Amino acid sequence: MTDEDQARALPELPRAHFSVPFLDIDKIIGDRETKIIICCGSGGVGKTTTSAAIALRAAEVGRKVVVLTIDPARRLAQSLGVGVLDNTPRPVPMIDTTAGGSLDAMMLDMKGTFDDVVIAHSTPEKAEAILQNQFYVALSSEFSGTQEYMAMEKLGQLHSEAEAHGTWDLIVVDTPPARSALDFLDAPEHLSSLLDGRFLRLLLPPARGPLRLMSAGFSMMSAVITKILGAQIINDVKTFVRAFEALFGGFRQRATATFQLLSSRHSTFMVVATPQHDALREAAYFVDRLTEEGMPISGMVINRVHTSALALSPERALALAEDLAGTSAALEIEALRRHANLMRLIAGETRQIERFASARPTVAQTQVQALPTDVTDFSALRRVGSLLADKD
Amino acid sequence: MTPRHTWHIVSGKGGTGKTTIACALACALATSGRRVLVCEVEGRQGISQLFDVPPLAGAEERRISRTPAGGAVYGLAIDAEDALIEYLDTFYHLSIAGKALDRFGAVDFATSIAPGLRDVLLTGKVYEAVRRKIKNRPNAYDAVVLDASPTGRIAQFLNVNAAVAGLAKAGPIRNQADSIMRLLRSTTTTVHLVTLLEEMPVTETEEAIAALRPTQIRLGSLIENMVTPTPLDRDQLEKAAAGSVILKVPRLTIKQNQALASEFAIEAARTLQEQQRLDRLAALGLPLVEIAFDHGGIDEGAIFAIAEQLIDQMSLETA
């Protein structure tokens, strides 16, 4: 029997058959009207790597790119030259600039960004009072939405700088690992409504305007809060709120502006996932939510898809391993077992991807095969970039 | 025999399977006649999804599984706002005021602007479940398992004292935080970290341990999840990884054998990397627990199978 006969005699193996559109990364980065690419998805799916790979590929086809990363793995950060968290975009050395592009990278310093906002929008005395306040310290370093909010704030700043000085023509944004699909879009609104909210207004005596009518109710409320939290907390909050008051309007305004920027035709979202049930379920939430909000989605990046060049079913591989049991062919047995595991994994992944695709057939997809090693250097990033852009 | 620890806290980087391990640990602890509670705090409904039961609504403690050993596992999804309203009701009989505060946005405000407060409320609810007494039993639950924050935030999450230190120097919240911290530091509480033998999860595990040490909360086991065991030794793996083995599987063509060998080279290289990371984990000086990768996917049966592995490898009981 020849190889070909043998191959033909093998059973049909599970393999992805996609009628879904292809997510053409090269077309997107080649389009000069694309000015912002946002990579979102649940934690651990390779968002940072995807963002860095897209940014590098875009820079090497001639775009002037800045990539905003949130929490890169240390070695990836080092190879991008953003090992230090300092909020300043720095040129990435060693990229291929023959097409006239450039690449800057930065790592988001959440608290630093927040501090900058405070300093830029208040008097030195007020800024000092805010920066010292315990509530501000907690809010700026720990609030569950602050990272999302500050990523958007930073995006706004980078965009203004790009527009004003032409420093960049493409911003690639990696998003924080949101706890849920909603966090990322809701955090700015949530934060600004908190800071601008009724409750804070109530804490600020004397109440103005229509709120004065509530003040009887409020003194009851204030008494309750004081009883529970202690008078000192209330005083701290009041100091914080008073100092922060001037910033309220600005926060809301910028949150709205960023939202508009994200909805514009110059922006596009890519939802990143891996071919596992949980990650794809999260991705589905993202896709649905972005669609609901009228945000422009270019499609899905499915990372770490396993492949095999050997068309041998898991059942047959295990049968062959069984035939060898008790012989000295330990390596053969182990290789066959591993192959069987891999084929089962591939079958599971294919099933997950097909289920996703059948529920959302209009969402374009590109797949990146699982790489044998971690992506920590430039050549690996380039390889991810070409896998992203490759239709097969 | 009694459970050695009555409060197990499980953390791990996202994607390492910490919720699966937390649920399996709850099943492992639920031996004959025991009641074990498993709680989640991130609003993911991970527990109900794993056991394929309807979502756990706010403050509801519902039985989600009966273990083969004859115990019962209860599930609870803790929400900070519900916890605050319950806290107000329990300590101040203020459920109506609590709801009024909620309407004013105060609950959202309190739990958002002071995340330390949020953590105190979440851990406070678990604290309450651990210490709850019921008629004819020493405790409502024989053990409580908390599917906690990811490793990146775990030390911050558990360090409730520090979280409220700047915010509440005295008063009831402070007292509550102090009580929680005492229980967290007691000999009956332990923290387990779940990891994969991959670069980022192992690095985060190392960082989480360094961050947890100063909190004086006792560390339990390092649980390596989704491990593929190999019968081969390092020498054989190195040769395979280098591509210098020629496989001769009878009834496969030469080409097929070559394809199998190059696929196996990648597998062997990965296994070698995993072994190096295992050495790094071993250097951390904590007991290692190995959970085999389940190729069939995770359902209740798979959770029970993981529970068996946990029982075999962890000392869950004390005489």
Tell me which of A64-78, A264-278, B62-76 is least confident. A64-78
Q: Residue A29 is encoded by which pair of tokens?
A: 């980065």
Question: Looking at the complex, does the CB of residue B156 fall below 8 Å from at least one CB of chain A?
Answer: yes
Tell me which of A9-18, A348-357, B212-221 is least confident. A9-18
The model's pTM is 0.82
Looking up residue B119, the CATH number of its domain turns out to be 3.40.50.300
pLDDT at residue A361 is higher than 70: yes
Out of B94, B156, B232, whose CB is closest to A330?
A: B232
Tell me which of A40-54, A313-327, B10-24, B262-276 is least confident. A40-54
Is residue A241 a part of any domain in this protein?
Answer: no
Is residue A104 a part of any domain in this protein?
Answer: yes
pLDDT for the residue B166: 60
Tell me which of A343-357, B5-19, B100-114 is least confident. B100-114
To the nearest whole percent, how much of chain B has pLDDT over 90?
Answer: 63
pLDDT for the residue A7: 44
Q: How far apart are CA A203 and CA A218, in angstroms?
A: 8
Is residue B43 a part of any domain in this protein?
Answer: yes
Give CA torsion, residues B283, B289, B295, B299, to 10 deg: -140
Is residue A108 a part of any domain in this protein?
Answer: yes
pLDDT at residue A336 is higher than 90: yes
Out of A134, A202, A221, whose CB is closest to B166?
A: A134
Helix residue spans in chain B (DSSP H): 18-29, 46-50, 80-92, 95-103, 106-113, 115-131, 154-158, 160-165, 172-184, 199-212, 234-241, 254-282, 300-313
Q: Chain B residue with minimal CA distance to A321?
A: B249
For residue A176, cis peptide bond before it (omega within 30 degrees of 0): no
Chain B residues with CB-CB distance to A330 below 8 A: 231-232, 236
Chain A residues with CB-CB distance to B13 below 8 A: 43-44
Chain A residues with CB-CB distance to B152 below 8 A: 71
Residue range A72-114, pLDDT digits in tens: 666 667 767 666 656 888 888 888 999 999 999 988 888 888 8
pLDDT for the residue B177: 86
Q: Residue A321 is encoded by which pair of tokens?
A: 């391993």
Tell me which of A41-50, A269-278, B156-165 is least confident. B156-165
Is residue A206 a part of any domain in this protein?
Answer: no
Is residue B151 a part of any domain in this protein?
Answer: yes
pLDDT at residue B248 is higher than 60: yes
Residue range A112-169, pLDDT digits in tens: 888 888 888 888 888 888 888 877 877 777 655 677 778 888 888 899 999 999 999 9
Is residue B82 a part of any domain in this protein?
Answer: yes
The pLDDT mean for chain B works out to 88
Please compute the mean of the pLDDT values over residues B135-140 and round it to a whole number. Answer: 81
Is residue A216 a part of any domain in this protein?
Answer: no
Contact status, residue B44 vs residue A282, Cβ threshold 8 Å: no
Residue A111 has a CB neighbour count (10 Å cut-off) of 19
Which residues in chain A belong to E strands, given as ranges? 36-40, 64-69, 90-91, 102-107, 170-174, 267-273, 297-305, 365-369
Chain CA centroid to CA A44, Å: 10
Tell me which of A47-56, A61-70, A179-188, B286-295 is least confident. A179-188
Q: Residue A43 is encoded by which pair of tokens?
A: 């934690």
Is residue B267 a part of any domain in this protein?
Answer: no
- Predicted complex ipTM exceeds 0.85: no
Looking up residue A33, the CATH number of its domain turns out to be 3.40.50.300
Residue range B111-136, pLDDT digits in tens: 666 666 778 888 999 999 999 988 87
Is residue A361 a part of any domain in this protein?
Answer: yes
Q: Are strands A102-107 and A90-91 parallel, antiparallel or unpaired?
A: antiparallel
Q: How far apart are CA A70 and CA A57, in angstroms?
A: 19
Is residue A18 a part of any domain in this protein?
Answer: no
Chain B residues with CB-CB distance to A71 below 8 A: 152
What total of structural domains would you count in chain B? 1
Q: How far apart are CA A53 and CA A329, in angstroms?
A: 41
Residue-number span of the structural domain to which B308 is assigned:
2-231+285-318
Contact status, residue A19 vs residue A353, Cβ threshold 8 Å: no
Sign of the dihedral through C-alpha A93, A97, A102, A108: negative
What total of structural domains would you count in chain A? 1
Is residue B176 a part of any domain in this protein?
Answer: yes
Please compute the mean of the pLDDT values over residues B176-190 and round it to a whole number. Answer: 93
Closest Cα of chain A to B210: distance in Å? Answer: 17
Residue-number span of the structural domain to which A96 is assigned:
25-197+251-309+353-389
pLDDT for the residue A10: 44
